[in-house]
Amino acid sequence: MAGADTFYVTTPIYYVNDSPHVGHAYTTVACDALARFWRLDGRETYFLTGTDEHGQKVEKAAQLAGTDPQSFTDNVSGRFRDLAALLHVANDDFIRTTEERHKAGVQALWQRLVDKGEIYLGSYAGWYAVRDEAFYAESELIDGKAPSGAPVEWVAEPSYFFRLSAWGDRLLAFYADNPGFILPPSRRNEVVRFVEGGLQDLSVSRTSFSWGVPVPGDPDHVVYVWLDALANYITALGYPDEAGDRYRTFWPADLHVVGKDILRFHAVFWPAFLMAASLPTPKRVFAHGWWTIEGQKMSKSLGNVIDPRSLIEEYGIDAVRYFLLREVPFGNDGDFSKRAMVGRLNSDLANDYGNLCQRVLSMIGRNCGGEVPMPGAFTDEDRALLDRAHGLLGIVRAEIENQALNRALEAIFEVVGLANRYVDAQAPWTLRKTDSARMATVLYVLAETIRHLAVLTQPVMPDASAKILDLLAQPDDARGFASLGASGQALGPGTALPPPAPIFPRYVETDGAA
CA distance 307 to 20: 7
242-272 b/e (C-beta count within 10 Å ≥ 16 → b) = eeeebbebbbbbbbbbbbbebbbbbbbbbbb
CA distance 160 to 204: 6
The residue (of 90 and 298) whose beta carbon lies closer to ligand MSP is 298
The residue (of 93 and 435) whose beta carbon lies closer to ligand MSP is 93
The residue (of 166 and 298) whose beta carbon lies closer to ligand MSP is 298
The residue (of 86 and 298) whose beta carbon lies closer to ligand MSP is 298
Cα-only R_g, the chain: 26
Q: How far is the CB of 131 from ligand MSP (least distance, A)?
A: 9
Q: How far is the CB of 253 from ligand MSP (least distance, A)?
A: 12
Sign (positive or negative) of CA dihedral 268, 269, 275, 276: positive
The residue (of 232 and 420) whose beta carbon lies closer to ligand MSP is 232
Written as one letter, the residue type at 88 is H
Q: How far is the CB of 29 from ligand MSP (least distance, A)?
A: 11
Q: How far is the CB of 21 from ligand MSP (least distance, A)?
A: 7
The CB density around residue 65, as the number of other CB atoms within 10 Å, is: 14
Tell me whether strands 119-129 and 153-162 are parallel, antiparallel or unpaired. Answer: antiparallel
Q: How far is the CB of 14 from ligand MSP (least distance, A)?
A: 4
Q: Which residue is nearest to ligand MSP (CB)?
A: 259
Nearest to 186 by CA among 272, 288, 266, 265: 288
Cβ partners under 8 Å of residue 350, min gap 6: 504, 505, 506, 507
Residues that bind ligand MSP (CB under 6 A): 12-15, 23-24, 26-27, 52, 229-230, 232, 258-259, 261-262, 290-291, 298
The residue (of 236 and 468) whose beta carbon lies closer to ligand MSP is 236
The residue (of 22 and 396) whose beta carbon lies closer to ligand MSP is 22
Q: How far is the CB of 295 from ligand MSP (least distance, A)?
A: 13
CA torsion 479→484→489→492, rounded to 10°?
90
Measured between alpha carbons, how far is residue 59 from residues 54, 130, 145, 441 in Å? 7, 10, 22, 66
Q: How far is the CB of 163 from ligand MSP (least distance, A)?
A: 21
**Beta partners for residue 293, in sequence order:** 296, 336
